[in-house]
C-alpha cells in the first residue's frame, strides 16, 4: 500500500469504525472534517481508490449517476456469498445470509441462465431500527 501518512491512517481508521456502512468519498471527507481532521477532498478520493486497488475496501457502483460507495472488508472477504441490505435512512449496511435469497439466486441461474453478482447486489429499504423510530 506504500507509505503511511497521518491522513491515510485517519481514513482507514474511519472506514474500519464504519465497516457496516457503504460510504461515499464525500461522506468520508465530511465526517473526517467534522471530527477535526484537515484531510483534503482529493486525498480522500485518491486514498479510497488506492485502498480499493489494494483489496482493503470494496467499491460499489450503484448506477443512475450516484457516487460510488466504499466499504471496509479486510479480513471479512465473504461478501460475495450473500446479499447486502442498505437502509435508506441511516445508511447502515446489513449482510443478509438467507436461504431464501440464495434459492432465488439459484433459480435465476437455472431458469434464466443469469448469474447474480452477490458482491455488487444491494437491496434498498428501511432497517428495523429506523422503522421503530418512526
Give the CATH number of domain 6-72; options: 1.10.760.10, 1.20.200.10, 1.10.10.10, 3.40.50.2000: 1.10.10.10
- The CATH class, in words, for 79-133 is alpha beta
CATH code 3.30.1490.190 region(s) in the chain: 79-133
pLDDT the model gives residue 131: 95
Which residue is it, cell 474511519? 14
19 CB-near residues (< 8 Å, 6+ apart): 71, 72, 73, 76
Q: Residue 81's pLDDT is what? A: 65
pTM over 0.75: no
Contact 76, 66 (CB under 8 A): no
Mutual angle of helices 41-53 and 25-34, in 10-degree steps: 130
Percent of the chain scored above 90 by pLDDT?
A: 43
Cite the residue boundaries of each domain of the chain with CATH code 1.10.10.10: 6-72
Residue 119 has pLDDT above 90, yes or no: no
Instruction: Give the pLDDT confidence of 45-81 residue by residue, as tens digits.
Output: 999 999 999 888 888 776 666 678 888 876 655 555 6
Q: Is residue 97 within 8 Å of residue 82, measured between CB atoms?
A: yes
Amino acid at each position: 500500500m506504500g507509505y503511511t501518512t497521518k491522513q491515510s491512517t485517519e481514513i482507514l481508521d474511519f472506514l474500519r469504525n464504519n465497516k457496516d456502512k457503504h460510504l461515499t468519498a464525500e461522506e468520508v471527507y465530511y465526517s473526517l472534517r467534522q471530527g477535526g481532521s484537515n484531510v483534503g477532498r482529493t486525498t480522500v478520493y485518491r486514498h479510497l481508490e488506492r485502498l480499493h486497488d489494494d483489496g482493503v475496501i470494496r467499491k460499489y457502483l450503484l448506477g443512475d449517476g450516484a457516487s460510488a460507495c466504499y466499504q471496509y472488508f479486510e479480513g471479512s472477504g465473504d461478501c460475495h456469498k450473500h446479499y447486502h441490505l442498505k437502509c435508506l435512512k441511516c445508511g447502515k449496511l446489513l449482510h443478509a445470509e438467507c436461504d431464501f435469497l440464495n434459492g432465488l439466486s439459484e433459480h435465476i441461474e437455472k431458469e434464466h441462465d443469469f448469474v447474480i453478482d452477490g458482491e455488487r447486489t444491494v437491496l434498498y429499504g428501511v432497517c428495523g431500527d429506523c422503522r421503530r423510530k418512526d
